[in-house]
Each structure stands twice: as structure tokens, then as C-alpha cells.
Amino acid sequence: MLVEVSKKLTKSVRNIDLVARWGGDELMVLLPNTSIQNAQVLAEKIRFLIDNSMDKMSVKLSVSTGVSEYNIDESTSRFISRADNALYVTKVEGRNRVAVAN
């Protein structure tokens, strides 16, 4: 399933974007030169795409997403941590959601 989701993600983003596996069942998408609002819109589109396409395969799969915007004055680990914290919020609130980090 991870491979199928990865393929769908890769097809859903621009050539300059990066899709990478991050941990066990987590994937990360880096969107250079993208506002937090546009990243949130894309995350919702991807969530909807995965939710609907996997139904056709008789598999129920949800996508929980944490979105954060890189701030020039923060470390990479802090940037990723903020996205991970937002992801945790989606899981607590019932999964299959998008949350934006502060």
C-alpha cells in the first residue's frame, strides 16, 4: 500500500517537489516555494484522492496530514517537529484529516 500511495503522491505534485518515506508508514512531501495555504489545499486534494482511489481497490485507507511552513530562523528538526505535532493532532481527532502547524 505504501508503494501505491507513494506513486499517487508523486503524480500529484510538481517536478520540483520531493516525496520521501519518513519512518515506518509515514511519507513526507516537501513543496519548495509554496505558501502554507497552498500546501494545505494540496494536502486536502491528496487526502481526497487517496481516500477515493483506495476505495476502488476494496481497501480502506486514510490519510492524516500535518502541514508546516519552514521559517528561515528555525532548524530543520524544528520544522519537521511542527509538522509531526500537527500530524499527531489529526490522529487524536479521528484521522483522515489535515492539520496546519502553528
Cα 87 to Cα 57: distance, rounded to the nearest angstrom:
25
Of the candidates 90, 99, 98, 82, the one whose C-alpha atom is nearest the C-alpha of residue 49 is 98
Task: Put residue 84 in one of left, alpha, beta given phi > 0 → left and psi -120 to 50 → alpha.
Answer: alpha
Q: Is there a catalytic annotation at residue 84?
A: no
Catalytic residue among 17, 25, 55, 84: 25
Cell numbers found for residue 34: 509554496
Q: Which residues are catalytic?
A: 25
